[in-house]
Amino acid sequence: MSQWLKGKTVVLGVTGGIAAFKGAALCSKLVQAGADVRVVMTASAVKFIAPMTFQALSRHAVAVDTFDEQDASVIAHIDLADRADLVIVAPATANFMAKLALGLGDDMLTTLLLATRAPIVVCPAMNVHMYANPAVQYNMDTLAKRGIRFIEPGEGQLACGYVGKGRLAEPEEIMASIGRLFDTPKLLAGKKVLITAGGTIERIDPVRYLTNDSSGKMGFAIADAARELGADVTVIAARTSVEPPAGVKAVRVESAEQMLHAVLERCAQADIIIKSAAVADYRPLETADQKIKKHGETMTITLVRNPDILSRLGELKRPGQVLVGFAAETERLEENAQDKLRRKKCDFLVANDVSLEGAGFGTDTNIVRIYNEDGLVADLPQQTKREVAEKLLAIVYDRLQQEGVAKA
């Protein structure tokens, strides 16, 4: 059998359900495929199947207790979280998914999942009515919006006696899904992608600044998706509330001017530039060296225009380079977007109405329309920022191909 998972570390989470025995079959298949499999079991899982089974199959000690640190040089759950190329939980109980949706970290598996940046695949298994329960469906929905992938349970005879949906997907099916996950075509191999993310900070004094609500999630989702497509990714990040994804070069800046310089240093080499950052249009005329003391009842801060980075990039754009701008709008989306596309000389403009629930600043999802010089290219209903990123990159890749510079 081919070792198609050779070099990959797969963390297999096993939670407490009767289907835990199928987790052992999955573990065996993962090992046969060449993966370095690290098994983490919950306290309930060990009531269904002994850790020794997984230890023998994976040839590694099984982690159950967060506080059972075998190696004093590392913190086990962080070490596993960092090492994982994939975390797969099979079977996943309703209780486990509820904890994950809430962000609880009260055992080895949940703490590891909070800490990992690897893709997470969850394979639910439970009674048919439990699976259909609105609370369970709501939790799954929440997790899906955060980018967690699910392998749906199958239908059939369940251990509880019912017939219906709830049976853990067969190990072969789970392996096929993992195969698709690792088999992302490297369409952007050899391409340099420059992305901006987050909200700029414009200092008033050493402790005060002007900024906006950008979390960096949109820009980082694009960076991660581009990395997965094989690109060499640099992300210039201003203030963000999340960390940049692993495997990309992250350059930290504060202000629009710093972002401009960081971008100008790198733009000539970039094949694709995507400006998803929320850049302040104005900055204080003066930044005080010391904390400003209060005087009187009012205070006036004079603001001056910041450079428009995207417009500068539009001026500097070289043949074959693809430039993508974003537009955060609260009214006249299409009109404003097309105006920005033309003025800033972008190839594509991604417009989001940031007044809509589930779109824009801080959310895990977005609702966007993508325009080019001929008009609307894609109208994407609410979906995760990661899905938006993948679709945007597919459109950009098509443009690169049309220009004959993409990988054949």
Q: Which residue numbers are catalytic?
A: 160
- Buried b / exposed e over 318-349, threshold 16 CB at 10 Å, is eeebbbbbbbbbeeebeebbbebbeebbbbbb
170 is a site residue for ligand PMT (CB under 6 A):
no
Q: At its nearest, how many Å lie between ligand PMT and the CB of residue 27?
A: 37
Question: Smaller CB distance to ligand PMT: residue 190 or 362?
Answer: 362
Question: Whole-angstrom Cα distance, residue 91 to residue 163?
Answer: 18
Question: Smaller CB distance to ligand PMT: residue 218 or 393?
Answer: 218
Q: At its nearest, how many Å lie between ligand PMT and the CB of residue 122?
A: 24
Residue from 243, 265, 281, 339 touching ligand PMT (CB under 6 A): that is: 281
Nearest alpha carbon to residue 344 among 316, 376, 383: 316
- Amino acid in the structure at residue 144: A
362 is a site residue for ligand PMT (CB under 6 A):
yes
- By CB under 6 A, the residues from 317 to 336 that bind ligand PMT are 325-328
Mark the segment that binds ligand PMT (CB under 6 A) among 65-73, 185-193, 246-254, 359-367.
Answer: 359-367
Question: Whole-angstrom Cα distance, residue 262 to residue 184?
Answer: 30
- Amino acid in the structure at residue 217: K
Mark the segment that binds ligand PMT (CB under 6 A) among 81-89, 138-146, 287-295, 352-360.
Answer: 352-360
Non-local CB neighbours of 140 within 8 Å, separated by 6+ positions? 97, 124, 150
Half-sphere exposure of 14 (CA within 13 A, CB side): 31
239 is a site residue for ligand PMT (CB under 6 A):
no
Question: Smaller CB distance to ligand PMT: residue 30 or 393?
Answer: 393
Mark the segment that binds ligand PMT (CB under 6 A) among 30-38, 149-157, 203-211, 274-282.
Answer: 274-282
190 is a site residue for ligand PMT (CB under 6 A):
no
Q: At its nearest, how many Å lie between ligand PMT and the CB of residue 364?
A: 9
309 is a site residue for ligand PMT (CB under 6 A):
yes
Question: Smaller CB distance to ligand PMT: residue 26 or 324?
Answer: 324
Mark the segment that binds ligand PMT (CB under 6 A) among 76-84, 137-145, 179-187, 305-313.
Answer: 305-313
306 is a site residue for ligand PMT (CB under 6 A):
yes
308 is a site residue for ligand PMT (CB under 6 A):
yes
Nearest alpha carbon to residue 282 among 313, 256, 263, 300: 256
Tell me which H or E stretch contains 235: strand 232-237
310 is a site residue for ligand PMT (CB under 6 A):
yes
Q: At its nearest, how many Å lie between ligand PMT and the CB of residue 360?
A: 4
Q: What angle do CA 35, 148, 380 make, to 5 degrees?
A: 130
Q: At its nearest, how many Å lie between ligand PMT and the CB of residue 248?
A: 15
Residue from 153, 216, 244, 314 touching ligand PMT (CB under 6 A): that is: 216
Q: Cα–chain-centroid distance for residue 38?
A: 23
Residue from 277, 333, 367, 370 touching ligand PMT (CB under 6 A): that is: 277
Non-local CB neighbours of 357 within 8 Å, separated by 6+ positions? none
DSSP sequence for 298-314: -----EEEPP-HHHHHH
E-strand ranges in 93-231 read: 120-124, 149-150, 154-157, 163-167, 192-197, 202-205, 208-210
Omega cis (within 30) before 91: yes
Q: Judge contact between 123 and 153, C-beta under 8 A.
A: yes
Tokens, residue 271: 């094949």
Mark the segment that binds ligand PMT (CB under 6 A) among 145-153, 155-163, 270-278, 372-380.
Answer: 270-278
Non-local CB neighbours of 290 within 8 Å, separated by 6+ positions? 205, 206
214 is a site residue for ligand PMT (CB under 6 A):
yes
Mark the segment that binds ligand PMT (CB under 6 A) among 6-14, 114-122, 304-312, 369-377.
Answer: 304-312
Residue from 8, 275, 283, 399 touching ligand PMT (CB under 6 A): that is: 275
314 is a site residue for ligand PMT (CB under 6 A):
no
Q: At its nearest, how many Å lie between ligand PMT and the CB of residue 119?
A: 19
Nearest alpha carbon to residue 35 among 67, 52, 11: 11
218 is a site residue for ligand PMT (CB under 6 A):
yes
Question: Smaller CB distance to ligand PMT: residue 122 or 279?
Answer: 279
List contacts with ligand PMT (CB under 6 A): 214-218, 256, 275-279, 281, 306, 308-310, 325-328, 340, 352, 354, 360-362
